[in-house]
């Protein structure tokens, strides 16, 4: 007699388990479909929006962020109203808006277009800053809730060109920059240096060099007023001509004023100190970069607030995406 191996019972049980599993899976799918049909269409829209917003925030925070150019400080490279994408990952993105940074092997290089926190910006608190940046990112730079008393957006971030690197020394004479690089004892004209490297961006000057005599007269006349004295007629007359200069070289104007004050009051050490700062120029210490606008006569940049920490550089200008006629890589 041959013993029964129980084979048919095993296959019967296997078939029963398979049918039960398939039945349960189909029941779960039907329940999900029923819930989906019953879901409020408004909730569907909200859910889709939140997912899209999350994706936009992640891209803006860690990869590419949209910025709108608010001023003419970078003319002709960037124009007022240009919308640009900034590469956030290249220098290490922030962990959260305004909080911490991820490490990166790359640092800002000379001639890079960089985005950084404005050293002169007065914060309204971390909660407002984070809310402002989230709204700014979600709307691709179209909505900025951080405005001044006149309703204009505040300059929370600045976009400039990285001109000075660690160890560089800079001076200006009648609006033109000279550089002395680390370890060198000779000066180089900025335009000559850029030309030798085929950097074709324009260093824009709005003020005519022929207007400097009027600007000098205005600065020296201002010093007489500070001293409570009436300026000589030759200064008063020439100084009035400076009123027609739309974008004067304020650094040169202040230097002329301080030179007169220093000559009149040599015992005042503060005038000597301030004048020395104007004459000696700027030095870029370790771990910092000196950002300057390409439009030198209309740019509030490192000449006013000094070199910027590299850790405060948020990204590198990458692409102009709007308007379409200006679309292209930023150089």
As a whole number, mean pLDDT of residues 21-35 equals: 73
Q: Is the pLDDT of residue 2 over 50?
A: no
Task: Give per-residue pLDDT as tens, 267-287.
Answer: 999 999 999 988 889 999 999
As a whole number, mean pLDDT of residues 208-237 equals: 89
Is residue 37 domain-resident?
no
Helical ranges in 139-226 per DSSP H: 190-196, 212-226
Mark whether 61 and 148 lie in a shared domain: yes
Is residue 293 domain-resident?
yes
Mark whether 270 and 303 lie in a shared domain: no
Please answer whether residues 92 and 113 qualify as being in contact, where contact means their C-beta atoms are separated by less than 8 angstroms: no
Between 166 and 241, whose confidence is greater? 166
Mark whether 222 and 128 lie in a shared domain: no
Six-digit token string for 123: 């914060």
The pLDDT value recorded for residue 54 is 78
CA–CA distance, 31 with 10 (Å, rounded to integer): 32
Please answer whether residues 182 and 167 qualify as being in contact, where contact means their C-beta atoms are separated by less than 8 angstroms: yes
Please answer whether residues 122 and 253 qualify as being in contact, where contact means their C-beta atoms are separated by less than 8 angstroms: no
- Show the domain range for 105: 54-166+288-329
Q: Domain boundary at 250, 275, 300, which?
A: 275
The pLDDT value recorded for residue 35 is 63
Mark whether 216 and 142 lie in a shared domain: no
Is residue 280 domain-resident?
no
Is residue 6 domain-resident?
no
High-pLDDT (> 90) share of the chain, %: 47
The pLDDT value recorded for residue 162 is 97
Mark whether 69 and 139 lie in a shared domain: yes
Mark whether 295 and 162 lie in a shared domain: yes
Task: Give per-residue pLDDT as tens, 124-174.
Answer: 877 887 788 788 877 777 888 888 878 787 888 899 999 999 999 999 999
Is residue 93 domain-resident?
yes
Six-digit token string for 162: 């990285």
Q: How many domains does the chain have?
A: 2
Is residue 282 domain-resident?
no
Is residue 1 domain-resident?
no
Is residue 154 domain-resident?
yes
Mark whether 295 and 159 lie in a shared domain: yes
What angle is formed at CA 293 by the lines to CA 299 and CA 93, rounded to 5 degrees?
A: 115
Mark whether 63 and 145 lie in a shared domain: yes
């Amino acid at each position: 007699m041959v013993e029964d191996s129980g084979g048919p019972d095993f296959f019967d049980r296997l078939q029963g388990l398979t049918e039960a599993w398939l039945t349960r899976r189909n029941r779960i799918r039907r329940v999900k479909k029923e819930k989906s049909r019953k879901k409020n269409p408004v909730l569907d829209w909200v859910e889709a929006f939140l997912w899209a917003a999350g994706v936009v925030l992640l891209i803006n925070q860690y990869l590419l962020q949209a910025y709108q150019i608010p001023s003419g400080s970078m003319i002709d490279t960037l124009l007022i109203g240009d919308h640009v994408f900034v590469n956030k990952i290249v220098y290490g993105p922030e962990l959260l808006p305004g909080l911490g940074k991820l490490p990166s092997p790359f640092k800002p290089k000379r001639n890079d277009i960089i985005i950084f926190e404005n050293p002169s910006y007065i914060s309204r608190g971390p909660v407002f800053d984070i809310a402002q940046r989230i709204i700014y990112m979600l709307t691709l730079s179209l909505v900025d809730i951080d405005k001044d008393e006149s309703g204009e957006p505040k300059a929370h971030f600045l976009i400039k060109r990285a001109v000075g690197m660690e160890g560089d020394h800079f001076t200006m004479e009648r609006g033109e920059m000279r550089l002395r690089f680390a370890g060198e004892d000779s000066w180089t004209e900025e335009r000559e240096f850029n030309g030798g490297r085929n950097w074709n961006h324009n260093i824009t000057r709005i003020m005519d060099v022929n207007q400097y005599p009027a600007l000098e007269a205005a600065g020296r006349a201002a010093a007489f007023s500070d001293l409570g004295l009436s300026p000589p007629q030759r200064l008063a007359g020439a100084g009035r001509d400076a009123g027609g200069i739309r974008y004067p070289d304020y650094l040169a104007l202040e230097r002329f004023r301080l030179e007169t004050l220093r000559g009149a009051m040599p015992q005042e050490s503060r005038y000597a100190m301030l004048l020395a700062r104007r004459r000696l120029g700027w030095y870029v210490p370790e771990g910092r970069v000196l950002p300057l606008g390409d439009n030198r006569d209309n740019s509030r940049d490192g000449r006013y607030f000094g070199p910027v920490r590299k850790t405060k550089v948020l990204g590198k200008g990458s692409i102009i995406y709007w308007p379409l006629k200006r679309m292209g890589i930023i150089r």
